[in-house]
């Protein structure tokens, strides 16, 4: 099982769009370097450079959608399940590696090579940035056009229904923008509801924390320039097989592996499990006794 929880994420949790813009500039610089090396070399190592370009383009798409997603312009489930699933991302990289050579060869024979006067007028670097951005936009469109039919075909063959794309899942709601790629093969369609298999939950690095009789869904939180230590946070309350999102809280209880599938609609979560024990002092003769009484979190 591939561990995809943090290795396929570009920015830290809670990052601002200004920080993402700085990362975006570095990725564009990497893409420009890849294109320069592809044009300068014409041997078997060029194929490897095409793969590097494909990964950089995939990272560019992830980062752009992180920025758009932070503005809440897109539906999370459609974005991740259609465009950013682990299975379709691999296909997009392979297609980009196979088709880029023909695309760049055709581009070299276009009118771009006769734009030297414009480059002299606005500076070579600025014009190179514009022309490479056009190339990146076209290739990104090609990758997206490949991912969509691949996702539809894979889901139909795997689950025999396309409702996977539209059915809400409480685990996805708890994860929200914390995770970038979904695993379409990790879903389980059962009685009209969408669940995550135990193997898929483990692949995303999700754990279970027990504290005061309440079970929480725990996940590692990514920070900027820090050693990953004591970075587990609770992101949802587990009630049976369902999860209700909650505010992030540090993990101070017992951490164990998840042992059952989780999922289902968010509105179906039993709110009676949102209780935390609190102590109340009762006068019982000469001594005080402590009794445990349920108290709602909202109180």
pLDDT per residue over 272-295, tens digit each?
A: 344 343 333 333 334 333 333 343
Quote the pLDDT of residue 228.
64
Task: Give the separation between CA 188 and CA 284, rounded to whole angstroms.
Answer: 53
pTM above 0.75, yes or no: no
With pLDDT > 70 as the criterion, what percentage of the chain qualifies? 70
206-264: pLDDT as tens digits:
899 999 889 999 988 776 666 666 778 899 999 999 999 988 888 888 999 998 999 98
Task: Give the separation between CA 239 and CA 274, rounded to whole angstroms.
Answer: 9
Quote the pLDDT of residue 177.
67
Q: Dihedral, CA atoms, 171, 164, 183, 1, nearest 10 degrees?
A: 90
Query: Strands across the sheet with 254-256, in order?
Result: 242-250, 232-239, 214-220, 207-211, 254-256
Quote the pLDDT of residue 292.
38
Q: Which residue has the tokens 């980062």?
A: 63
155-182: pLDDT as tens digits:
999 998 998 988 888 998 888 767 667 7
Mean predicted confidence (pLDDT) in 73-89: 70
Pick from 107, 38, 95, 26: nearest CA to 63: 26
With pLDDT > 90 as the criterion, what percentage of the chain qualifies? 16
Quote the pLDDT of residue 202.
87
| pLDDT exceeds 80 at position 200 | yes
Mean predicted confidence (pLDDT) in 23-47: 78
Mean predicted confidence (pLDDT) in 92-102: 71
The least confident of 27-36, 103-112, 140-149, 152-161 is 103-112
- pLDDT interval class at 117 (50, 70, 90): confident
Contact between 143 and 171 under an 8 Å Cβ cutoff? The reply is: no
Of residues 177 and 147, the one with the higher pLDDT is 147
Of residues 81 and 267, the one with the higher pLDDT is 81
């Amino acid at each position: 099982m591939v561990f995809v929880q943090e290795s396929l994420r570009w920015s830290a949790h809670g990052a601002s769009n200004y920080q993402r813009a700085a990362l975006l500039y570095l990725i564009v610089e990497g893409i420009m370097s890849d294109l320069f090396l592809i044009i300068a070399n014409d041997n078997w190592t060029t194929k490897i450079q095409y793969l590097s370009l494909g990964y950089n383009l995939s990272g560019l798409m992830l980062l752009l959608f992180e920025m758009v997603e932070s503005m809440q312009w897109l539906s999370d489930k459609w974005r991740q399940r259609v465009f950013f699933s682990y299975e379709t991302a691999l296909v997009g990289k392979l297609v980009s590696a196979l088709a880029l050579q023909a695309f760049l060869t055709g581009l070299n024979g276009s009118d771009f090579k006769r734009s030297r006067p414009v480059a002299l007028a606005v500076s070579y670097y600025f014009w190179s940035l514009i022309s490479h951005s056009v190339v990146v936009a076209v290739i990104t469109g090609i990758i997206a056009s490949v991912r969509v039919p691949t996702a539809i075909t894979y889901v139909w063959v795997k689950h025999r229904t396309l409702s996977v794309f539209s059915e809400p899942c409480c685990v996805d709601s708890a994860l929200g923008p914390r995770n970038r790629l979904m695993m379409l093969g990790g879903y389980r369609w059962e009685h009209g509801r969408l669940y995550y298999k135990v193997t898929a939950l483990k692949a995303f690095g999700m754990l279970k924390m027990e504290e005061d009789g309440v079970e929480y869904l725990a996940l590692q939180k990514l920070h900027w320039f820090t050693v990953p230590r004591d970075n587990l946070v609770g992101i949802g309350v587990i009630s049976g097989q369902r999860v209700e999102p909650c505010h992030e809280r540090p993990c101070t209880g017992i951490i164990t592996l998840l042992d059952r599938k989780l999922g289902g609609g968010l509105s179906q979560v039993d709110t009676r499990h949102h209780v935390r024990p609190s102590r109340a002092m009762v006068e019982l003769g000469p001594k005080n006794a402590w009794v445990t009484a349920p108290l709602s979190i909202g109180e």
